[in-house]
């Protein structure tokens, strides 16, 4: 085999390995990532019965759910637990106009299109289907399989579309 061809094949294999290492591992359960501010989903979603969309808005077309803004947090916490050290961190960031740098818990590869709006518009589909029993969690950790196989199983079970361009949109 020609030396240049071998080098080309080796470079291609190295590129494939490096690219694969960069993709988020969507199957493995993971511990909760450290967050800049302690936040209890069990308290807010469980005990206080706040809906997910109370904090995680879906602006524009509603395709993506956002992480809460300091403005959203402070709409309640100007008066509630305002002396808490954790709330003081939010208040300080809000006063400075800085967002909280929340660590993402669930991520899918950039080449996958996912619409929260379409999924939550399906009867019987809730946030818990993909994110687990949020209302029971003090802190969020990835505990659900979001691999292509798991998504396809769900689409088959719910008789949803599952052709390639359903998720791998040609945008």
What pLDDT shows up at residue 60?
82
Q: Report the pLDDT averaged over residues 133-141.
A: 93
**Domain annotation covers residue 18:** no
Domain containing 142 equals 30-67+102-167
**Domain annotation covers residue 19:** no
What pLDDT shows up at residue 171?
55
**Domain annotation covers residue 97:** no
- Residues of the chain above pLDDT 70, percent: 82
What pLDDT shows up at residue 90?
96
Query: How many Å apart are CA 126 and CA 154, to the nearest integer?
Result: 13
**Domain annotation covers residue 124:** yes
In terms of Cα–Cα distance, which of 130, 157, 126, 159 is closest to 146? 130
Long-range CB pairs of 161-167 (<8 Å, 24+ gap) are: 167/112, 167/113, 167/114
Please identify which residue in the block is written with the tokens 């719910």: 158
What pLDDT shows up at residue 168?
86
**Domain annotation covers residue 5:** no
What pLDDT shows up at residue 74?
96
Does 70 have pLDDT greater than 70? yes
Task: Give the other-Cβ count within 10 Å of 10's Cβ.
Answer: 10
Does 128 have pLDDT greater than 80? yes
Q: Mean pLDDT for the chain?
A: 84
The residues, ordered by sequence, that sit 6+ positions from 20 with a Cβ below 8 Å of its Cβ are none
**Domain annotation covers residue 141:** yes
Query: Domain total for the chain?
Result: 1
Q: Report the pLDDT averaged over residues 68-90.
A: 94
What pLDDT shows up at residue 8?
62
134 is written with which tokens? 């949020």
Q: Report the pLDDT averaged over residues 114-131.
A: 88
**Domain annotation covers residue 72:** no
What pLDDT shows up at residue 139?
92
**Domain annotation covers residue 16:** no
């Amino acid at each position: 085999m020609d030396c240049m061809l071998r080098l080309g094949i080796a470079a291609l294999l190295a590129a494939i390995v490096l690219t694969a290492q960069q993709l988020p591992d969507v199957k493995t359960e993971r511990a909760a990532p450290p967050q800049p501010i302690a936040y209890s989903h069990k308290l807010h979603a469980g005990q206080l019965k706040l809906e997910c969309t109370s904090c995680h808005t879906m602006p524009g077309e509603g395709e993506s759910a956002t992480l809460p803004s300091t403005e959203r947090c402070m709409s309640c916490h100007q008066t509630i637990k305002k002396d808490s050290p954790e709330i003081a961190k939010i208040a300080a960031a809000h006063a400075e106009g800085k967002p909280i740098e929340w660590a993402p818990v669930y991520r899918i590869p950039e080449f996958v299109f996912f619409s929260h709006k379409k999924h939550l518009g399906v009867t019987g589909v809730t946030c818990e289907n993909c994110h687990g029993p949020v209302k029971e969690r003090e802190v969020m950790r990835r505990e659900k399989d979001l691999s292509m196989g798991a998504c396809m199983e769900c689409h088959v079970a719910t008789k949803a579309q599952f052709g390639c361009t359903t998720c791998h949109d040609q945008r």
